[in-house]
Structure 1
Amino acid sequence: MLIFGFSAGLPFSLLVGTLNAWLGEAKVDLATIGIISWIGLAYAFKFLWSPLVDRTRLPVVGRLGRRRGWLIVCQLLLAATFVTLSFTDPVLAIGTFALVAVVGAFASATQDVVIDAWRIDVADEVATVEILSSIYQMGFRIAALVGGALALVLSERISWPGVYAVMGGVMALTVIATLLAPDTARPPAELGERELREPGAIDPRVRAAGLAVVAAGWIWAILTVAFFMVRMLNPIPNDPNPPKASDFTAETGPWIIAATVLLPALVATLFNWLQKKGRHVLTEARPADSAAARGADHAYGALLLPLADLIGRLRWGVVIALGIVLTYRLTDSIWGPFAFPFYLTELQYSADEVAFASKIFGVFMTIAGIAIGGVLFVTLGRMPTLILGAIVAAATNLLYADLAAGAPFIDAFANTFGLNSLGIDPRMVRLMIAISGENIAGGLAGAAYVAYLSSIASKSYSAVQYALLSSLTLLVGSLGRGALGEMIETQGYVAVFYLTAALGGIAVVFCILEWIRSAHQRRQEVAAPGLVPASDAARVQEGDTAA
C-alpha cells in the first residue's frame, strides 16, 4: 500500500505541478501553460470511466488479477510517459509534448481508480481500510516530495529531461510491488446495484434514457475541451482569428458547467419526482440479465444516483451545496499551475530555494493549518470553520499580490517581528512568509472542506457521492486557468492575485448561505419534528456523525 500510494502521488506531482516549472523555465507562454494544465481534468473526470475499469478484464495481463492487470498497464504507461517527455522539446513540439502529458494524466487518473478499489478489496481485520488509507497518504506525500522538491533540486544539476527520465525509471520500479501484491476474485455477475432493480425503483429503460442524456453532455464537454486544446497548441499559421483562452472561458465555460453539473442535477431531480409520484417505476423486481445492463446500473450508480440522493435530502439547498463544491477551492486550483513559473521565472528564485520553501517548509505549514482546523472544529463548530477557511484562503492571495509588487507589507511584517534579524536572506524570508500564509490557510480550508463534504454525503452512498463531489471541485478552477494565463501575460501577477482573492469571496457567500440554511433546518426539526420526514432526519444525523 505504501508503494501504491507513492505510485499514485508521483505522476500527480510530476504532471500537475512540477511540469509547469519545466515549461516556465523553457519560456513557454503562460496562456499555453494554463491550457496544458487542463490535463488535470482527467482527475476530475475519472469517476466517469470507473465502471469500465471495475467491470472490464484486460486481455493477456488480465490473467494477473482483477486489479493487478490494470495497475501494470497504468504503471508501465506512466513510466513510458515520463521517458517520452524527456525526449520531447516543449518549445519545438508543444503539441506532442501536451499529447504525451494528456496520455499520462489519464493513465494516472485510471491508476487512482484501481488503487482505491484495491485498497477496499484487500482490507481485512488486521490491515483495515483505515490503516491502509493512512499508509496510502504517507506514500502519496513521500511521492510529492520526490516529484516536487527532489525534482526541482535535480533540475539544477541534470536538466529537466534528465529529471523526467529518472522519474520514468522510478515509476517502472513500482511494477515490482504490483507483481507481489495480493488480489481479489471478481464478484459473481449477479452482484451489483440491486436496489436499482427492486420494486419502486425507476424503470431501467427510463434510467437508460436519462443516463444517455447525461453521457451526451459529458462527452460534448470533454470533446469541446480537447478540441480547443488542440487548436491552441497547434495554431494555424497567419490565422486572422486565433483562439483565445479568455474567450473560451467566458463563452463556452458556462455551458461546460451546465452540461456536466446542471444537466445531471436536472435529470436526477426528474427521477426523484417520478419516483415520488410512482411513475415509470418497477412493480416487481427485474434483475439485470446482461453485462450491458449491469454496466448501465454501475454507471448510473456512479453518476446519477449520488446526485439523486443529495437532491432528495437537501432539496433546494443542493444549489448552495453545489455552489460551495464548485467554488470553495477555486482560489487554490485556478492559480496553482502558475506557482512554479511565478517563483522561478517572475521572482527569480532558484529551484533549490523553491524546493525548500514550497515542498519542505510548506508541508509543515500545511500540517499546522490542518491542526488549527481541528481546534476550530471543536471550539467554533463546522460551519464557522468552513466560512473562516474560505475567508483566509481568499485573503492569502493578497500576500502573493504583495510579494509580486515587491513585498512592502511582508517586509514591514518581517521587520516588526524581527524575522529579518535571524540571519536568513530577506528574499527567502519574504517567500517563506507568503508560502506560510497560503499553506496554513490551505490546510485549514482543506480540513474544513473535507468535513463539509463528509457531512452532506449520505452513509448509503458515501464512496460514490464523495468521489463525485470531490471531482467537481476541480472543474471551475481548471477551466479558468487558460484565461488566467492570458491575464498574467497582459496585466501581470499583481492584478491576477487581486482577482483570485475576489473570486474567493464567492465561496464565502455560499458558505454563509449554507450556514443560514442548515441553521433554519435545525430550527424546523426542533420546533416541529413532523415537518421533516424521519428518513431525512436520519440522513442529516448520518452527515453530522460523518463530520
Structure 2
Amino acid sequence: MSDGATEPAPVSYKGWRGIRRAFGTPSAFVMLLLGFGSGLPFLPIASMTLSTRLRDDGLDLGSIGLISLASFFYLLKFLWAPLIDRYAFPLTAFLGRRRSWLLASQLVVGASLAALALVRPDLGVGSLVGWVLVGSFAGATQDSAVDAYRIEIAPASAQAALAATYTLGYRIGLILAGAGALYLAEFRGWTAAYLGIALLMLLPVVATLVCREPVAPEATVERRIDVIGAFWQPFTSFFSRNGLALGLVLLAFVGLFKFPDQVIGVMAGPFYLDAGYSKADIATVSKLYGIWLGIGGAFLGGVGVAAFGFRRMLLLAVVGVALSNLAFLLMARFPSELWAFYAAITADNLFQGFAGTVLVAFMSSLTDRNFTATQYALLVSLANLPGKFVGGVSGYIVEATSYGMFFLSSALTVVPALLLLGWLWPRIAESQAPPAAGAAALPPH
C-alpha cells in the first residue's frame, strides 16, 4: 500500500481486464478499510443504534428525537471542509494533507465511542450528548477526508472500483455497528457493544498509517492563500460554473432528494421496538439482511446511471424512496410479524441503496476537483440537513398522531423534489454522467 509518493503511470481501466486491475490496486483495498471506518461510527453516534439504546433505557420518543440533533455536525461538515482542503492537521501534518486529517479524526472517533460505552443515559443525558457532539464532529471530519482521498487517489476511470470497495467497507461497518452492536447489547449489554465498536476503529487507523498520500491536483483556478479565501472560493466556484438560478435549484433538489427517507431515520429503531421486535430481530432483519440489500441496491443504481444516464434514474430513485416509506405501514398494521418486517426492510433498503448511489454519482458530477472536500461536503450535508432537522421533532409528531400517519405523511413529502426535478429535466446533461458505475451510498437510517 505504501509504495511511493506518486501514482504509477496511467493505465487503461476499460473492459473486464481493466476492472480486475482497478479492483486489485492497493488504493481499492485502502478504500475498503477507510469505508469501514466511516460506516462504523455512524449508527452508534448519529442514528439507529443510538436511538435504540436510548429507547431500551426507557427514554421517551420526544427526548430521543431531540438528542439525535446532537449529531448535527454530520450535516454541517461543509463549514470546516475548506480547512481540510487547504491545510494539514497540525499535530499529524507529517502524514500529509489528507492522511493527517484522517488519523486525527479516526482517533477522536474511537475515543468518543469508548466514552459513550461508559455513560449511563438512565442517570442523565448530559455527558452522552457531549460525547455525541464530539463523535459526530470527528466522524464528519473523517467522512470529508475520506471523500477527498477517494476522488484524488486515482483517475476518474478507476473511481468505480474505489466507490464500490468503499461502499462494501462502509456497509460492513454498518453491519458490525448495527447488527453486531445489537447482538452484543442483547447478551452482554450496551457497554460491551460500544467498547467493541471502539476497538474496531483500529483497522482504519492502521490503513491510514500505511497508505500513501495522494498527489495534490494541479490547480486550475488561482487560489487565495488567506483563510477567508479558503472558505469563500469553493462556493463562488460552484455558482460560477452553474449560474445563480441553476445553482440554487440544484442545491434545493439535492436537499430534498432523500427527505422522505431521512425524516423517518430517527424513529426507525424505537418503532421496531414498539412494534414488538427484539433487539436480536432488529439485528437480523434490519442490520444483516437489510444491509446486503442496500449493497445490492447501490450497485443497481450504479449500473442504472451508466446505462441510462442521470435523469430517469433520478426520477426512479425519488419516487422509489417515497413509496418505500409506505412499506412500514405493514409493520404498523401487523406488529411482531417477521414477514412484515422483512417486506418493509426489503423495499426500504433496496431503494435506499439505489437512491444513494444515484445521488452520489450526480453530486460527484457537480464537484470541482480544486475544492473536492468542500463542495462534496456541502452537497452531502444538504442531502441530509432538511430531513435531519425534521427528524429531531419526529418523536413529537408520532406521539401526537401515530406511526402509521407519520409514515404516510413522510411519503407525501416527495412532491417538492419531483417539482424541482421537472424544472431541472431539460437542464441535466446526460453526458455529465461520470465514468464510475457505482458510488458510495449515503448513510442509511
TM interval, shorter chain, is 0.7 to 0.9
Contact map agreement 1:331 1:477 (CA 8 A) in 2 = yes
The within-5 A match list for 1:282-361 is 288=224, 291=225, 293=226, 295-310=227-242, 312=243, 316-344=245-273, 346-361=274-289
- Residue 203 (structure 2) pairs with residue 168 (structure 1): no
Report whether the alignment pairs 1:14 with 2:40: no
What pairs with 1:18-167 in structure 2 (closer than 5 Å)? 18-120=49-151, 122-123=153-154, 130-167=160-197
Gaps of 5+ in 2: 1-29, 437-445
Contact (CA 8 Å) 1:303, 1:468: kept in 2 or not?
Answer: no
| 2:394 alignment partner, SS class | helix
Aligned to 1:433, which of 343, 348, 357? 343
The CA distance in 1 between the partners of 2:37 and 2:395, in whole Å, is: 30
Amino acid at match of 1:7: G
Task: Report the CA distance between 1:122 and its aligned residue.
Answer: 4.8
Q: Displacement, 1:400?
A: 1.2
The answer (yes or no) to whether the contact 2:145–2:373 under 8 Å persists in 1 is: no
Which sits farther off after the overlay, 387-396 or 325-334?
Answer: 387-396
Q: 1:397 aligns with which of 307, 325, 346?
A: 325
Kept after mapping to 2: 8 A contact 1:370/1:447:
yes
1:473 aligned counterpart, secondary structure? helix
Contact 2:75 2:385 in 1 (8 A): yes
Equivalenced residues, count: 405
Q: C-alpha separation between the residues in 1 aligned to 2:339 and 2:155?
A: 48
With 378-387 and 504-513 compared, the bigger mean Cα shift is at: 378-387
Measured against aligned partners, the alpha-carbon deviations of 1:184-238 in whole angstroms (never above 9, x if no partner) come to 68x7xxx9866346xxxxxxxxxxxxxxxxxxxxxxxxxxxxxxxxxxxxxxxxx
CA contact (8 A) 1:459 1:543 kept: no
SS of structure 2 residue aligned to 1:27: coil
TM alignment of 1:146-545, pairs within 5 A? 146-172=176-202, 174-183=204-213, 195-196=221-222, 288=224, 291=225, 293=226, 295-310=227-242, 312=243, 316-344=245-273, 346-370=274-298, 373=301, 382-406=310-334, 427-454=337-364, 464-515=374-425, 518=426, 540=429, 543-544=432-433
CA deviation string 1:411-437 (max 9, x = no partner): xxxxxxxxxxxxxxx811110011111
- CA shift, 1:152, in A, is 1.0
Contact 1:47-1:302 at 8 Å conserved across structures: no
Superposition deviation, residue 173 in structure 1 = 5.2
> Which secondary structure state, in structure 1, belongs to the residue aligned with residue 359 of structure 2?
helix
Deviation at 1:81, TM superposition (A): 0.8
1:31-63 deviation per Cα after TM superposition (whole angstroms, max 9, x unaligned): 222222224432222122122234444455434
Distance 1:57-1:433 versus aligned 2 partners, 3 A rule: closer
Contact 2:266 2:394 in 1 (8 A): no
Aligned residue for 2:412, secondary structure, equals: helix
* AA of the residue aligned to 2:229: D
**What SS class does the counterpart of residue 186 from structure 2 fall into?**
helix
Q: Report percent identity of matched pairs.
A: 32
Residue 334 of structure 1 contacts residue 480 of structure 1 at CA under 8 Å; is this kept in 2? yes
Report how far residue 330 of structure 1 moved: 0.3
Q: Secondary structure at the match of 2:80?
A: helix
**1:151 deviation in Å?**
0.9
Cα 1:429–1:159 shift into 2, 3 Å: same
| Structure of higher RCO (CA pairs closer than 8 Å, 6+ residues apart) | 2
Contact 2:33–2:203 (CA<8 Å) still a contact in 1? no
Q: C-alpha separation between the residues in 2 aligned to 1:184 and 1:434?
A: 42
Distance in 1 between residues matched to 2:257 and 2:57, nearest whole Å: 32
The letter for the 1-side match of 2:275 is L
Spell out, residue by residue over 1:387-442, the C-alpha distance to the aligned partner (whole angstroms, 9 max, x if none): 232222212222212421337xxxxxxxxxxxxxxxxxx81111001111112222
Amino acid at match of 2:172: I
Aligned-partner Cα distance in 2 for 1:474–1:42: 11
Given that 2:82 and 2:373 are in contact with CA atoms closer than 8 Å, whether structure 1 keeps it comes out as: no
Counterpart secondary structure, 1:107: helix
1: distance between equivalents of 2:365 and 2:105?
Answer: 33
Distance 1:84 1:175, change over 3 A: same
- Label 1:445 to 1:63 Cα distance change in 2 as closer, same or farther (>3 A): closer
Q: Is the Cα contact below 8 Å between 1:30 and 1:489 reproduced in 2?
A: yes
Contact 1:387-1:512 within 8 A present in 2 as well = no
Secondary structure of 1:195's match? coil
Deviation at 1:168, TM superposition (A): 1.8
* AA at the equivalent of 1:356: T
CA distance in 1, matches of 2:71, 2:239: 23
**Conserved 8 A contact 1:334-1:477:** yes
State the alpha-carbon separation in 1 of the partners of residues 422 and 66 from structure 2: 33
Mapped to 2, the partners of 1:155 and 1:427 lie a distance apart of 22
RMSD of aligned alpha carbons:
3.2
Residue identity in the other structure for 1:28: L
Deviations 1:137-178 (A, max 9, x none): 322221111111111111111111221122222224543333
Q: In the aligned structure 1, how far is the partner of 2:367 from the partner of 2:75? A: 18
Q: State the AA in 2 paired with 1:16.
A: A
Deviations 1:487-523 (A, max 9, x none): 11222211211210111232223223333xx1xx69x
Looking at CA atoms only, which structure, 1 or 2, has the larger radius of gyration? 1
1:455 and 1:20 map into 2 onto residues whose CA distance is: 34
Of residues 104-113 and 452-461 in structure 1, the stretch that sits farther from structure 2 once superposed is: 452-461
Q: Is the 8 A contact 2:147 2:373 kept in 1?
A: no
Contact 2:77 2:144 in 1 (8 A): yes
Name the CA shift for 1:80/1:455 in 2 (closer, same or farther; >3 Å).
Answer: closer
Rounded Cα–Cα distance in structure 2 between residues aligned with 1:176 and 1:303: 34
Code of the aligned partner of 1:32: S
Check conservation: 1:457, 1:543, Cα contact below 8 A: no
